[in-house]
């Protein structure tokens, strides 16, 4: 796949200069010309990195992204010669199946080492560090080596988020950061829509919020708001807000077991409160009478406008997962919260809501991440009230 993309990206004359049968990347340099043109352009490198992540998530094969932080080594009149030496050193130290390119133009060179095998991570990274370091030292001066820094980033990274692990390594997701003017403008529009929409909703719905708060307080003991740790983009934790719809100090294991069965596709026959294709538990004994109404009308979700206002969520996006959910996730499921900020509503809410199997729900989330635009957000927001009033799948 990578070779096919690169073949389309490189002009004919550049491909022909390599000679018959010569690969784009290395192994044996021989008399081949090695210079800065050997490096894949930044936009293409990031596209290939994105595709490699998706391939790895499906196959389970790990890869390593190596970043060569150049510092000020390319400043001065001999910049081209120094860059050619660095490129040749990298070519000599990597395999034909590895890919060299600009991670950040004239700032960072990236190397994608695919299918690194099942050996110990520390051992593999140590070997790569030793091999690259030795090759660079043969081509560069001591001063140049001191200006360069190597970093290693393994995908899939060991998130371990259900046990309080670190968020995802953002270095593996450069394609998700807006670079061009149009991308930055679109992101600015989305954030502006989030701020204006959430602030306006909180003001207009303030009488409803007060009535709900009073009803909860008068009918059951416990706090008005239910607070729960959820995972935002890249796995960053935040406090998720809802109106409390359950009796205070209810046992969370009922939901944990149900969700894990639902994700694994075993809930239809294994849970007494489940029906085929239903995402939420029906007739949950932990839910109060007021809470049942709030859930049916989705009014329990209104405090999440505060999460949107603070930037932890967006108006539109995938629902933020609970940390214990991802224990049952397959690798490709992780993309639903790694690649886009979570939202109050989304494609699965307006197209399937709670009557969608988990894999289909994830596919809708990934479709949203892939096709996102401000106009798509607006269309989803306009369709959300109909889905809420219809109440299909809300329990």
Q: Please name each of the domains of the chain with its CATH number.
A: 2-156 (3.30.70.270), 176-390 (no CATH)
Its pTM stands at 0.77
Q: Which residue has the tokens 């529009």?
A: 189
Structure tokens at 286: 């932990």
- Above 50 in pLDDT, residue 85? yes
Three-state secondary structure call for residue 372: coil
- Above 60 in pLDDT, residue 237? yes
- Above 80 in pLDDT, residue 160? no
What string of DSSP letters covers 28-62? --TT---SGGGSBPHHHHHHHHHHHHHHHHHH---
Q: Which has more confidence, 16 or 289?
A: 289
Under DSSP, the state recorded for 140 is S
pLDDT of the residue at 19: 35
Burial class (CB in 10 A: 0-12, 13-18, 19+), 275: exposed
Percent of the residues in the chain that have a pLDDT greater than 70, as a whole number: 80
Q: Which has more confidence, 149 or 286?
A: 149
- Above 60 in pLDDT, residue 16? no
Average pLDDT value for residue range 256-269 = 70
pLDDT of the residue at 98: 92
Least confident range from 9-18, 139-148, 376-385: namely 9-18
> Cα angle vertex 269, ends 332, 251, to 5°?
80
Q: What is the mean pLDDT of the chain?
A: 82
Q: Which of 6-15, 19-28, 166-175, 371-380 has the highest mean pLDDT?
A: 371-380
Average pLDDT value for residue range 304-315 = 96
Structure tokens at 31: 């008399």
Three-state secondary structure call for residue 334: helix
Question: Residue 175: pLDDT band by 50, 70, 90 thresholds?
Answer: confident
Q: Which has more confidence, 88 or 263?
A: 88
- Above 90 in pLDDT, residue 182? no
Average pLDDT value for residue range 288-295 = 92
Using one digit for the tens of pLDDT, what is the confidence trace for 27-83? Answer: 444 445 555 578 999 999 999 999 999 898 888 888 999 999 998 888 877 888 899
Structure tokens at 190: 């989305």
pLDDT of the residue at 261: 78
Structure tokens at 123: 């051992």
A 10 A CB-CB count for 227 gives 12
Q: Which has more confidence, 334 or 302?
A: 302
pLDDT of the residue at 25: 40
Q: Which of 259-273, 302-316, 343-357 has the highest mean pLDDT?
A: 302-316
Question: Residue 341: pLDDT band by 50, 70, 90 thresholds?
Answer: very high
Question: Residue 281: pLDDT band by 50, 70, 90 thresholds?
Answer: low
- Above 70 in pLDDT, residue 361? yes
Give the separation between CA 341 and CA 346, rounded to whole angstroms.
11
Q: Are strands 149-155 and 108-113 parallel, antiparallel or unpaired?
A: unpaired
- Above 90 in pLDDT, residue 308? yes
What Å distances lie between residue 201 and 177, 262, 289, CA to CA? 28, 32, 25
Q: At what angle do helices 42-59 and 2-9 cross, to 10 degrees?
A: 160
Three-state secondary structure call for residue 185: helix
Using one digit for the tens of pLDDT, what is the confidence trace for 134-156? Answer: 999 999 989 889 989 999 999 98
Q: Which of 176-190, 229-243, 252-266, 283-297 has the highest mean pLDDT?
A: 229-243
- Output Rg (C-alpha) for the chain, integer angstroms: 25
């Amino acid at each position: 796949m990578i070779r096919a993309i690169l073949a389309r990206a490189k002009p004919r004359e550049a491909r022909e200069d390599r000679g018959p049968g010569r690969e784009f990347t290395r192994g044996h340099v021989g008399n081949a010309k090695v210079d800065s043109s050997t490096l894949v352009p930044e936009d293409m490198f990031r596209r290939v990195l994105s595709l490699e992540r998706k391939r790895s998530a499906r196959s389970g094969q790990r890869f390593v992204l190596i970043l060569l932080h150049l510092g000020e080594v390319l400043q001065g009149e001999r910049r081209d010669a120094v860059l050619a030496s660095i490129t040749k050193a990298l070519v000599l130290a990597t395999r034909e199946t590895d890919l060299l390119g600009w991670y950040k133009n004239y700032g960072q060179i990236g190397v994608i080492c695919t299918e690194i095998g099942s050996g110990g991570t520390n051992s593999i990274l140590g070997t790569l560090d030793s091999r690259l370091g030795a090759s660079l030292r043969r081509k560069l001066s001591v001063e140049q080596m001191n200006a360069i820094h190597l970093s290693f980033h393994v995908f899939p990274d060991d998130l371990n988020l259900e046990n309080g692990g670190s968020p995802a390594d953002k270095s593996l997701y450069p394609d998700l950061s807006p670079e061009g003017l149009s991308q930055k403008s679109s992101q600015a529009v989305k954030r502006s829509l989030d701020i204006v929409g959430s602030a306006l909703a909180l003001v207009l719905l303030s009488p409803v919020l007060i009535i709900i708060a009073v009803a909860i307080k008068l009918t059951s003991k416990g706090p008005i708001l239910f607070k729960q740790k959820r995972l935002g983009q890249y796995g960053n934790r935040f406090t998720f807000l809802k109106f409390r719809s359950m009796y205070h100090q209810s046992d969370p294991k009922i939901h944990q077991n149900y969700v894990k069965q639902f994700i694994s596709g075993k809930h239809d026959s294994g849970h007494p409160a489940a029906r085929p294709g239903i995402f939420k538990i029906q007739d949950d004994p932990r839910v109060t009478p007021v809470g049942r109404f709030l859930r049916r009308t989705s009014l329990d979700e209104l405090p999440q406008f505060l999460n949107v206002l603070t930037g932890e969520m967006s108006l539109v996006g995938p629902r933020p997962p609970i940390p214990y959910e991802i224990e049952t996730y397959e690798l490709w499921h992780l993309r639903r919260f790694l690649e886009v900020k979570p939202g109050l509503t989304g494609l699965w809410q307006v197209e399937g809501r709670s009557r969608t199997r988990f894999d289909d729900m994830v596919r809708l989330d990934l479709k949203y991440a892939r096709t996102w635009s401000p106009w798509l957000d607006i269309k989803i927001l306009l369709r959300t009230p109909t889905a809420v009033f219809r109440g299909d799948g809300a329990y």
